[in-house]
Chain A
Amino acid sequence: MDITAFTSKRSLLSGSIILIILFLLATFPLYFPGYTVVLLISIFMYIIITVSWTMFSGPTGYISLAPAAFFGVGVYTSALLGPLLPLPVVIAIGGLASFCLAFLVGALTLRLRGIYFVMFTFGLVELLLHFVLWWEVNITGTTGRVVPTVGNTTVYYIMLIIFAILMATAYFIKHSKFGLALQSIGEYEEAAAHTGINVTALKTTTFALSAFFMGAAGAIMATRWTYIDPRIAFNPLLSFMPVLMAIFGGMGQLYGPIIGAAIFTYLEEFLITRFPYYYMLIFGIIMLVAILYLPNGLVGLIERWRRGGLKRRHANT
């Protein structure tokens, strides 16, 4: 059997499926206006943060708890520049500001491994939160800021565009030599360096690139929230959620984090409205169960099931 024809046919198929999905998502607000769009905006926000988190932390194994910091930088960019500049420029600047911050942090923390890296990135979120809080109270004299709104449909489409660019970037990285290089850093960093990979540059750039998307998502999300303060912008939960969502979904495939983020965001909405008092409790239990029984996430479960299904088919023939 001709394998190349098979793979090209397969890639054509998956390509057209992606186009159909994008088309459906793009026309979505036309059939379902109102609450569904709002829900989809939150889902997209978490998907963007989770996928960009997985882009760096998935292959390299460096667990970053800094997403909230990069997201918050985007939020504050939007609050400061929103009234002055057109929206696309604000979002680009939000992303770039996060990119620069992440580049700096990445360059500083190159020596840190494992748990030290985790603690440093978490410290960054808390440092920014408390510094901005102090600055706003003592220098500006306010705690919160008002961000100009742009309407839910606009927010939705911008989220969709960021999502599409992010997925293209993530796909490119995963299927290029950079993805392989990142993978080898995760497996054995010294060996990767010895084979001629510029470990430093690669780690820092990927980390900064992932921060770009988080910052952009923060910048656009701020316009939906309309009122922001440091505790909303630098909410530590935004650092933990992507980790949890990526693990729940599984990091082996690109669609894993998307599934994880979508299910969790929907679950969050569902639990908050049905069981407002038990919501976080249920959440914690799901988290524990996911870590204990789904080490490779839903993707791992799906793959095992598919492989099991294939085996059975072979056995039958």
Chain B
Amino acid sequence: MVEILDIVIAGLLMGGIYALIAVGLSLQFGVARVLNIAHGEFIMLGAFVTWWLYTKVGVNPLVSLAICGPMIFIIGFILYRTLFTRLRTSSPSPAAFEGNSMLACFGLLFIIQNTAILIWGASIRGYSYLAFPVNFGGAIFAANRLMTLGFAIVIGLVFYLFLARTRLGKAIRAAAQDPATAGLMGVNINQVLALCFGLGALMAGLGGSLISMSFKIQPTMGLEYTIIALIVIVLGGLGSIPGSFIGGFLLGLVGSIVTYVEPGLSLVAYYVIFMFLLLVRPTGILGK
């Protein structure tokens, strides 16, 4: 019984992070039409800035959330307004833009990753913050991981309310459905798309900050998280924000079950699920 609880809680704890980073990628792909392969690099940036501020300046990692988020949002926003807007206007078709922007993201991946290596070095880093154990009905977990889960859920909810209840959220949803018509209806489309890309980067940055509190980090960590986020958004349905959120928790659970059975195979299991889904139901669990 305790074992099952162990597996479920471990899965949910991991799933919270997966959900958060997948929502960011989902927003970037679903609305801004950029399959951001460099998503993980924004996660890495968030993690490293948090680590650096904590170990060098002594800033509380929770305060860093409020620093990393806006900082990375601005980077993402500017990138979309310059690089991707240029690509979007020069690409002959939306499909060509998807291909070109994905390749541009590969370029960004190399640039961000190697700049980080030049600044912080290639070694594995980590720090201890809120690492005391918490007993959860027999299952024992570190406090920082529980807090991570809490923050992931809160951020997800706030974001969902923003999309569902505010005027700007409505503009984003309109742009996701039909950018051309949304533009005709008075939505400043370039602004909204850049905002979405920036918000996606913001989620990645916050995710990175949270990850750095309970996991080891290194400049090359990005791609692994990008791939997980990709699997989650396929699982949840491309472009569906609630789908990505649920998909994140689902994948976390699957990972924790497979790790319990055969630790070496969790990544293999992810890919098997991923490819199976692409073949059988490419629209995902909540996709139309």
Contacts and interface: CB of A to CB of B under 8 A. Distances in A.
B272 interface: yes
16 contacts: A63-B102, A109-B278, A111-B279, A115-B102, A116-B278, A119-B230, A126-B271, A127-B271, A133-B264, A137-B264, A244-B106, A283-B110, A287-B104, A287-B106, A288-B104, A295-B90
Interface in B76-94: 83, 86-87, 90
Prevailing SS type, chain B contact patch: helix
Given A108-B279, A130-B271, A287 B118 contact: no
Most chain B CB atoms below 10 A, which of A119, A127, A236, A240? A119
Interface in B266-282: 267-268, 271-272, 274-275, 278-279, 282
Interface residues of B, number: 40
Interface stretch (A163-171, A259-267, A273-281, A308-316): A273-281
Contacts of A126: 227, 267, 271
Interface in B35-49: 35
Contacts of B275: 120, 123-124, 127
B262 to A, nearest CB: 8
A3 B96 CA distance: 37
Interface of B: 29, 35, 83, 86-87, 90, 95, 98-100, 102-104, 106-111, 113-115, 117-118, 223, 227, 230, 234, 238, 264-265, 267-268, 271-272, 274-275, 278-279, 282
Nearest to A128: B271
A119 B110 contact: no
A243 interface: yes
Nearest to B230: A119
Interface in A77-132: 108-109, 111-112, 114-116, 118-120, 123-124, 126-127, 130-131
Nearest to A240: B106
Nearest to A114: B95
Contacts of B95: 61, 114
A277 B118 contact: yes
B104 A119 contact: no
Contacts of A278: 114, 118
Interface string A227-258: 00000000010001001100100000000000
B76 to A, nearest CB: 16
Prevailing SS type, chain A contact patch: helix
A287 B102 CA distance: 12
Contact of B272 (A115, A127, A138): A127
Given A116-B278, A123-B271, A291 B227 contact: no
Contacts of A287: 103-104, 106-107, 110
Contacts of B265: 134
Contacts of B230: 119
A62 B29 CA distance: 18
B114 A281 contact: yes
7 closest residue pairs by CB, A with B:
A284-B110, A287-B107, A127-B271, A284-B111, A288-B107, A281-B114, A280-B114
B98 A115 contact: yes
B169 to A, nearest CB: 25
B107 A138 contact: no
Contacts of B106: 240, 244, 284, 287
Contacts of A120: 275, 278-279
Contact of B111 (A109, A243, A288): A288
B254 to A, nearest CB: 15
A281 B115 contact: yes
A138 B264 contact: yes
Given A115-B98, A134-B264, 6 more contacts: A115-B29, A115-B35, A127-B275, A281-B110, A288-B104, A291-B100
Contact of B83 (A124, A285, A292): A292
B210 to A, nearest CB: 24
Most chain A CB atoms below 10 A, which of B29, B103, B227? B103
Most chain B CB atoms below 10 A, which of A123, A281, A295? A123
Nearest to A283: B110
Contacts of A240: 106
Nearest to B279: A108
Nearest to B109: A284
